Structure 1
Amino acid sequence: MVRRARALMVATENKAVILVSGGLDSTTVVAMAQAAGYDCYTLSFDYGQRHRSELVAAEHVSRAMGVREHKVVHLNLDSIGGSALTDEAIAVPEQATEGIPITYVPARNTVFLSIALGWAEVLGAQSIHIGVNAVDYSGYPDCRPEFISAFETLANLATKAGVEGQPLRVETPLMRMGKGEIIEVGIGLGVDYSLTVSCYQATSEGLACGVCDSCRLRRQGFIDAGVADPTRYIAN
């Protein structure tokens, strides 16, 4: 009898679903997971973001790193707006701001992790990896360790795998690392950061603005790591 194509696979410790944006952090997470012996399945989201060149970068990075499978899920978070990343009428700030910045996308990581959780169940993977960071980051509430811990609890209450004794972990290997340290680790693992795009308002060719919050953090990271910055900037 032919089994259903979407049937849940037998859980295995060495499969990992990794959220990738095409940026510096998530690319480093893929390299770290591969070094730890995981079979990596990368997941990106076309959610209505203005910086769509990150999707191209995520595909290029995934192909270059030889992951098992790369999947893009289509969402329409731009339909609810509320963020400079999903609403063209809201300008991306080019100066540091107080509090949670307007580039925060409401509930983004909650939605992304939920879909990653579903794919992990289908694959039989027991870990989801995400490049959130509580040191060099923009102050987003869904990048904090408290959020990750709460989501992991939810994941094991809400899934067949969790209920049947196959608990799922949410791995955040970059949580306590600064950008310079992240880059040093990535360089040591052979990451080609020239393939990555981090800018909130990158051009369709992947050229970075050099002035948004993400660009500032990235640029400082290369300075702190003492590594030449391979980013292609618009001014260049």
Structure 2
Amino acid sequence: MQAQANERPGAVVLLSGGVDSTTVAYLARASGYAIYALSFDYGQRHRRELDAAAAVARAVEAVEHRVVRIDLAGIGGSSLTGHGEIPTGGVTDGIPSTWVPARNHIFLAVASGYAEVVGARAIYIGVSQVDYSGYPDCRAEFLEAYQRAADLASKQFVEEGRSIPVVAPLLHLSKAGTVRLGLALGVDYGLTWSCYQGGESPCGVCDSCRLRAEAFAAAGAVDPLVGRPR
């Protein structure tokens, strides 16, 4: 594994174990990068997504898979960290209770530091602003502002003028488009996990399950977690 890292440029991939981050991990590998997978144990309701992330990291032959612990549950503000019930009424207008305040901002900050330490050339993140849950930190405006801040905080940028770009290849792609792209890349979506509830099988009613079901159906594909088009 380490030999591969020396032969190929590295990319840090923010890996949650879901459809989007998994597709991005496969895409980064197909683009010739050695993968440094970065996941977070941030106080989410279940560890199922971290198990999925570990499986995906093995599938893409990650050089490293780091799991960083950050207690975002301690600040509250999200049903994903146990503050309120997970909504099951379908995707609605506005920012839902499943948004975790500052999550992508914090995750990207850690990723930038990690990338500089390991000498990575890029940071990949699987956000999309097309059909998503309305999270403000999944938009191009946020990523553009973050990139400027990350450059100003980077030793190598200040001393050498070398930026570590944040790459969001799914930003303008629908989730159905993401599934089609992943299938073309050979993604094993049976390794992934999307449900906010955890458990042995997807609940099928939370926002994440609904978006996943709609994506597989629109892509004309079978979701391997349920074994039939949903």
User: Which of the five TM-score ranges fits, normalised by the shorter chain?
Assistant: over 0.9
Q: How far 1:218 moved relative to its partner?
A: 0.4
Please give the TM-score of this superposition, normalised by the length of structure 1: 0.90
Q: How far 1:167 moved relative to its partner?
A: 1.0
Contact in 2 for aligned 1:12/1:125 (Cα 8 Å)? no
Distance in 1 (alpha carbons) for counterparts of 2:221 and 2:7: 37
Of residues 173, 177, 180 in structure 2, which corresponds to 1:177? 173
The answer for the alignment partner of 1:211 in structure 2 is: 205
The answer for the alignment partner of 2:184 in structure 1 is: 188
Query: Secondary structure of the equivalent of 1:72?
Result: strand
The answer for the alignment partner of 1:60 in structure 2 is: 55
Distance in 2 (alpha carbons) for counterparts of 1:121 and 1:181: 31
Q: Percent identity?
A: 55
The answer for the alignment partner of 1:38 in structure 2 is: 33
Q: How far 1:232 moved relative to its partner?
A: 4.0
Per-residue CA deviation, residues 136-175 of structure 1 (Å, 9 max, x unaligned), is 2100000000000111111110110111211110000000
Judged with a 3 Å threshold, the aligned counterparts in structure 2 of structure 1 residues 126 and 65 are, in CA distance, closer, same or farther, namely closer
Contact in 1 for aligned 2:8/2:34 (Cα 8 Å)? no
Q: Which runs of 4+ in 1 moved over 4 A?
A: none
1:1-236 equivalent positions in 2, closer than 5 A: 14-87=9-82, 89-95=83-89, 96-164=91-159, 165-203=161-199, 205=200, 207-232=201-226
Distance in 2 (alpha carbons) for counterparts of 1:32 and 1:103: 27
Query: Secondary structure of the equivalent of 2:224?
Result: coil
Distance in 2 (alpha carbons) for counterparts of 1:161 and 1:119: 13
RMSD of aligned C-alpha atoms? 1.6
Distance in 2 (alpha carbons) for counterparts of 1:94 and 1:145: 28
Contact in 1 for aligned 2:194/2:209 (Cα 8 Å)? yes
Q: Return 5+ residue gaps in structure 1 as ranges.
A: 1-10
Per-residue CA deviation, residues 44-68 of structure 1 (Å, 9 max, x unaligned), is 0000000321000000111122111
Greater share of helix: 2
Q: How far 1:126 moved relative to its partner?
A: 2.4
Instruction: Look up the equivalent residue of 2:224 and give its one-letter code.
Output: P
Contact in 2 for aligned 1:51/1:85 (Cα 8 Å)? no
